[in-house]
Amino acid sequence: MKLTSRSLLLALLSISSIPIAFTQPSSKFSTNKYGNGKGDTLLYRLLFPDANPSQKYPLIIFLHGSGERGSDNEAQLKWGVMNFATDQNMSQHPAIVVAPQCPTDQFWSNFSRTKVSAETRLLPNPSKPMELLIGLIHQLVKTLPIDSNRIYITGLSMGGLGSFDAIERYPNLFAAAVPVCGGGDTTRASSIARIPIWIFHGAEDPAVAPSFAYEMFEALIRAGARPGFTYYPEVGHFSWIGAYSDPIMIDWLFRQHK
């Protein structure tokens, strides 16, 4: 009989008196809900590093895409954010990680846009989820050991648009941003030129036009910024797989501070 790795594991378990627990990665994140005192709430998951509780840590805000909207407070952990929660990453770069969940049919960003990225314009007021997110960040800074000079924001697709929305509305809050397959208001580039930004996009993206990212990159260069720009050839919408698996990007992000 051929002994497979699964049968070997079952055999070992059957002869062992020591119980073995298999932990789901999502269990590393506590389940939470933020309220603004006006009846509005935002669900979120939070990861706290297993490290010195008296030390201050960077804060990572992770914004999911449109497919993970809802009210289960779980779907937002599907893509990307778990790369920050690995044992290796938390050992090398311990951080407080927050993954909020946008309600169904709502958005992180509030842009007026068409399929032509040059027409993307930031509307005067933030979306309700973005307004709640900013309130949550301020509350966490007051209650957790967060280094306010190292607040980072990143997100994919709808969250990539949300990342640009956040830094364009609140440029003094964030130390760095990594928008993945997103875009922003090119007329606001000068307001975020001092923020370290690394943009990722797939050259064959059918969902968010690559021009959204490229035109933001060009606008930032014209404004005097020095953003990173990774343009994956022959990659569609799933550019976040490469982006969040890139150890160079991770190392770069944690070097940034205000």
**pTM exceeds 0.85 for this model:** yes
Mean pLDDT over 43-54 rounds to: 89
Q: Is there a contact between 182 and 157 (Cβ–Cβ < 8 Å)?
A: yes
Span 221-254, pLDDT tens digits: 999 999 999 999 999 999 999 999 999 999 999 9
For residue 152, what is the DSSP state? E
Label residue 50 by pLDDT band (50, 70, 90): confident
CA distance 162 to 166: 6
| Within-domain flag for 137 | yes
pLDDT at 36 over 90: yes
Mean pLDDT over 123-131 rounds to: 97
Span 107-126, pLDDT tens digits: 999 998 655 445 789 999 99
Mean pLDDT over 100-108 rounds to: 97
Mean pLDDT over 125-146 rounds to: 97
| Within-domain flag for 175 | yes
Q: For residue 245, give both structure tokens.
A: 């698996």
Backbone conformation region of residue 70, classed left if phi is above 0, alpha if psi is from -120 to 50, else beta: left
How large a percentage of the chain has pLDDT more than 90? 83
CA-only gyration radius of the chain, Å: 20
| Within-domain flag for 130 | yes
Q: For residue 227, give both structure tokens.
A: 């953003």
Span 7-26, pLDDT tens digits: 333 333 333 333 333 345 56
CA distance 123 to 112: 6
Q: What is the pLDDT of residue 172?
A: 97
Beta strands in the chain (DSSP E): 30-35, 41-47, 57-63, 96-101, 111-112, 121-122, 146-156, 176-180, 198-202, 228-232
Query: Judging by DSSP bridges, how do beta strands 41-47 and 176-180 pair with one another?
Result: unpaired
CA 227 to chain centre: 18
Mean pLDDT over 166-170 rounds to: 98
For 65, the domain range is 32-255
| Within-domain flag for 1 | no
Q: For residue 170, give both structure tokens.
A: 């609140």
Q: Which residue, among 54, 134, 131, has the nearest Cα to 98 in the 3D structure?
A: 134
Q: Is there a contact between 232 and 202 (Cβ–Cβ < 8 Å)?
A: yes
Overall domain count for the chain: 1
The CA–CA distances, whole Å, from 219 to 169, 185, 187, 240 equal 17, 9, 8, 22
CA dihedral sign, ordered 129, 38, 32, 252: positive
The domain spanning residue 81 has which CATH number?
Answer: 3.40.50.1820
For residue 105, what is the DSSP state? T
Angle between helices 128-143 and 158-169 (to 10 degrees): 70
